[in-house]
Structure 1
């Protein structure tokens, strides 16, 4: 189900910039599905940037030896590479860094707010826990619920965005994002990490998800994803009342 392409969708200009008007149309087309999705609010949007641009981004996505990845090999997650933000994404090609910037920008924030109904969203320019992820053959990510706060900014986690860059991904390789019900008795939704697929999902302490089965992709391939997290500010009872600019008195 392609809802936007490079030629007619949310991109324009000599580079690529998310088009606020086109993104709003995409958001309006999907927002009714978000709140009623099972097992928790989410939406899957295919063809988000268009095949041509998505393929170009996939072609420059860092391989296992192309960046200063931090590798995780634990019971909960194995053969998973990430944490390029530790070096300010210095090894990441410009087009992917530009995509991260666009995911933090006004047009994309407006899109998310329209899709989800959550207002006042705040991106994380540091991409703590997010950014680029690459899972290698045999790797997995156990079912989990995400961390709930940005403790550096006293913000509450509200949304997770995942964008996949895996050309010609085969079902037999596995890697589906699994969404499980609150009591962990069944998987209710499986989402294949295919090229140019965007997933937006709500945060919750019982919003279980992951790709728990080991990847069976060929050697040299991996499950590439771009992740971004979004927050809202907490209401403070002692916050000052809002006001407009206070102008100094005119001097005689």
Structure 2
């Protein structure tokens, strides 16, 4: 099955549920706008996508104070179905429907999958509260939407690895969005869209297909260029101080080197 065929399934579900999703997004728009849609693809296809995810040994491990997870983005190194499903989300019709639901215009996909691709998290993996990098790899367009499609069967809330968004800031309770099988989550990314992933509690791999959309204009008038910025949780006071120092050092370097000291390897080089 190719990306065009998969995109038709996605469009069908988005169109069928469009008014419900618009309402869901509208209720959260003033803080961190989001919506989620279950049963996105036929179950057999979603299960097949999950079965094609690579072994951890064939992915890139990212382990630091900020995060502990595994990523894959050089898509021609993996099963062809994975590339097809990722680019289904980059289909023009899918982008237009998602943008319409979110009330946005002039939204663009990203053929290079900058910071996107596949995400895999095993037991004890986590992603600390953070703001996504504000721009694309050329620093020419603003990152505006984050699309997360979860494909691990029989995954439940208590297994961890769930998306957390912090609409009232890091000092207030987070909103938890379960990383449920065959669920698509779409959330806005801007200067205040703090989000994280809770620690995985189950001895299994949580798998996710990740995409970003971009725009010529930022979502908030107050948005400024920023690198991916991490913070500690309220229970991690020492870690929070260290991460803020880390943020300052990396931000300082980006003021000198506009596109970074080195090219970010997290992109699909075709």
Q: Quick one: distance in 2 between partners of 1:129 and 1:49?
A: 24
Matched, 1:31 2:22: yes
Change (3 A) 1:234 1:104: same
Tell me the number of residue pairs that the alignment of Structure 1 and Structure 2 aligns: 216
Q: Which residue of 2 aligns with 1:137?
A: 123
Q: Which residue of 1 aligns with 2:187?
A: 201
Matched, 1:216 2:201: yes
Q: Which residue of 2 aligns with 1:184?
A: 170
Q: Quick one: distance in 1 between partners of 2:172 and 2:3?
A: 45
Query: Residue by residue, what CA displacement relative to the aligned partner does 1:100-119 show, whole Å, maximum 9, x if unpaired?
Result: 11111112112211210111
Q: Which residue of 2 aligns with 1:18?
A: 8
CA RMSD in angstroms, aligned pairs only: 2.4
Q: Which residue of 1 aligns with 2:255?
A: none
Change (3 A) 1:179 1:217: same
Matched, 1:161 2:147: yes
Quick one: which of 67, 70, 75 aligns to 1:77? 67
Q: Note the residue ranges of structure 1 that are not aligned, 5 or more in a row.
A: 1-10, 236-252
Q: Quick one: distance in 2 between partners of 1:71 and 1:22?
A: 33
Query: Residue by residue, what CA displacement relative to the aligned partner does 1:116-152 show, whole Å, maximum 9, x if unpaired?
Result: 0111111111111111010111110001111111141
1:14 Cα deviation (Å)?
A: 10
Q: Which residue of 1 aligns with 2:32?
A: 40
177-186 or 224-233: bigger deviation:
177-186
Change (3 A) 1:130 1:177: same
Q: Note the residue ranges of structure 2 that are not aligned, 5 or more in a row.
A: 219-270
Higher helix share: 2
1:13 Cα deviation (Å)?
A: 11
Query: Residue by residue, what CA displacement relative to the aligned partner does 1:155-196 show, whole Å, maximum 9, x if unpaired?
Result: 011111000011011333211111113431223411111110
Q: Quick one: distance in 2 between partners of 1:182 and 1:172?
A: 24
Higher strand share: 1
Q: TM-score, normalised by structure 1?
A: 0.78
Q: Quick one: distance in 1 between partners of 2:4 and 2:137?
A: 38
Structure 1 SS opposite 2:17: helix
